Amino acid sequence: MLGTLCRNNDVELRVLSTRRPSLRACPTRGGLGLRRPRRAKVADFDIGIMPMPDEEWALGKCALKALQYMAAGLPTVASAIGANREVIEHGRNGLLAATMEEWLESLRALIRDPGLRHRLGTAGRRTVEERYSMRTSAAKFESVVREVAKRHWERA
């Protein structure tokens, strides 16, 4: 199914990995080291994907790859498991997929609809800025420190 999607839509997969990709269904580029910074490679993408198996070890993984794609303004499709479900609101700031059919449907929609790619990419970027940026995290951290200090001094 993936091969048909790639052939019918002139798709190339770019893989960020220290291992050579072993996908025969689609033309691939990447693997074996990350010579250029990851940021520069991601900037060349049209769509970010984060497939993960629905297995227990994956439930403990964070959504870092999805957040990196979203921060770059890329429309993102991720497996509908674990932290991905906390970060991505399906159809609003990205797409979640649990089955091969959902993956193909999501990818086809993004390949065919530049407006959808733009809308999801922009919303994903906004999500990262509002919930995960250094500025937002620093403000949350400051708030926690102030609250702890206030409680400490009230008890003293």
Both tokens of 54, joined, read 């629905």
Give the pLDDT score at 111. Answer: 94
- Name the segment(s) of the chain with CATH classification 3.40.50.2000: 44-155
Look up residue 30 and give its DSSP letter.
E
Fold classification of 44-155 (topology level): Rossmann fold (3.40.50)
Give the pLDDT score at 97. Answer: 97
pTM value is: 0.81
Give the pLDDT score at 1. Answer: 65
d(CA 156, CA 16): 52
Angle at CA 110, nearest 5°, toward 79 and 4? Answer: 80
Task: Report helix, strand and coil shares of the chain as percent, to nearest 5.
Answer: 55, 10, 35
> What type of residue is 59?
L
- Give me the average pLDDT of each 10-residue run along the chain (156 residues): 78 75 74 54 87 86 93 96 96 96 95 97 97 89 93 87
Pair 62, 84: CB distance under 8 Å? no
